[in-house]
Amino acid sequence: MRCLTVLAFVFTGLALATKPHPPGTEQGATDSSLEHIARHDVENVDSDSVKVIRSDDQAPYGGLEKRIDGIPIPTGPNPEQLTMAGVLVSFTMVGQWIRKEGGSTLKYVCSQINIRNPTTVNKVVTLASKGVTLLKNQPFTHERVMGIKAPEGGFGQTFDIVVGNQRGS
């Protein structure tokens, strides 16, 4: 009997010591103090910025493909590599001297786009530039690397890429 009395006092003390939860704080509830920020307020309005359009497209076999349109071809000596759906895209740059206004300037041109699949999932890649499809549903197995040389006249200003999981992998 003493044990039950002690337990009753302990539970009553615990109930009084804890703060009650305010309404709307349960899991999944939204905080009313947060306000919606319009998308146009967040986007970069810098005139030198390049807009990359990202979208998810449904693949014909039901898988999800990652697609990026209008990726700018880099013009610097050491461009960063892109990672898309686990596939790494890097660029081989070549310097060319161009005569301008009585002097010479060094301009970097992309001579090759390198694609590598470091994942264990087999991928398919489609790559296009200047309206020409350079790769179409090219399978990339684990650790496969492929270099796509620039076509006559170069890659242009931008390229488009679609990466998806290969069917049956």
Domain extents for the chain?
53-165
Would you list the DSSP string of 6-40? Answer: HHHHHHHHHHHHSPPPPTT-STTPPPTT-----HH
Residues in CB range of 25: below 8 A, 6 or more apart: none
41 C-beta neighbours (distance < 10 Å), count: 7
30 C-beta neighbours (distance < 10 Å), count: 7
Question: What is the DSSP-derived secondary structure letter of residue 49?
Answer: -
Residues in CB range of 146: below 8 A, 6 or more apart: 114, 115, 116, 135, 138, 140
Q: Does 116 have pLDDT greater than 90? A: yes
148 C-beta neighbours (distance < 10 Å), count: 18
Residues in CB range of 133: below 8 A, 6 or more apart: 126, 127
Q: How far apart are CA 70 and CA 138, in angstroms?
A: 20
Q: Does 151 have pLDDT greater than 80? A: yes
- pLDDT computed for residue 30 by the predictor: 60
pTM attached to this predicted model: 0.58
What's the CA angle centered on 13, arms 7 and 17, to 5 degrees?
145
Q: Does 41 have pLDDT greater than 60? A: no
pLDDT in tens, 50-100: 444 344 444 444 455 677 778 888 888 889 998 888 899 999 999 988 888
